[in-house]
Copies of this chain bind each other. A is one copy, B any other.
Amino acid sequence: MRGVPARVSVHFMKLKFFTTGGTIDKVYFDAKSEFEVGPPQVSELLNDANVTFEYAVASILRKDSLDLTEADRALIREQVAADPATRIVVTHGTDTMILTALALKDIPGKTIVLTGSMQPARLRVTDAAFNLGTAVAAVQTLSPGVYIAMNGRIFNPETSRKNVASHRFEELA
């Protein structure tokens, strides 16, 4: 068929998911009367979606992305760079997702897609499953580089930002 690029077959490769915390993983702790970053939701989301590709999930951190330090970003970069996988999805809080993406940009030969959600995956209405779906397709179809998959779009972290006021990612003017 016209226009089925060879790269589509890469979806046979094993995908790697790294989790770092963020809103997507937030659960409600009655004892503290607040939401906190809980166990990674990725495996449950992929299971609910009945995905059939091979994958592995590794948790690096469980932090609100506003609390990530440069040391944390160095750790994320180290683990992503060291992993043999060439197609990697990183789930991350939205507030500093761009910063972490930029910290990963010099990693050669890998397609890396960062995603997360504005509403926790455990909510009845959430963008988590949809966003993870966009990241999973993007990581299989895009050439090496670092991308942000949010709001149904794919962003270049060097030319985009999170617009906190409007709760969305957007291209820089």
Contacts and interface: CB of A to CB of B under 8 A. Distances in A.
Interface string A117-158: 011101111110111111111101111111101011110111
Given A48-B130, A51-B152, A136-B137, 5 more contacts: A2-B105, A8-B154, A34-B34, A133-B137, A141-B141
Given A3-B144, A143-B5, A146-B1, A154 B168 contact: no
A127 B4 CA distance: 25
A28 B136 CA distance: 25
Contact of A64 (B33, B66, B94, B122): B33
Contacts of A127: 48-50
A129 B117 CA distance: 13
A125 B122 contact: yes
A154 B53 CA distance: 10
A120 B27 CA distance: 10
B152 A120 contact: no
Contact of A133 (B8, B26, B152, B164): B152
A46 interface: yes
Interface extent on A, as a size class?
35 or more
Nearest to A93: B33
What 8 A-B pairs are tightest by C-beta distance, nearest first? A133-B133, A3-B145, A51-B152, A137-B137, A49-B130, A130-B133, A134-B137, A129-B129
Contacts of A143: 3, 5
B28 A147 contact: no
Contacts of A125: 48, 122
A20 interface: no
Given A35-B34, A95-B33, A124-B124, A50 B133 contact: no
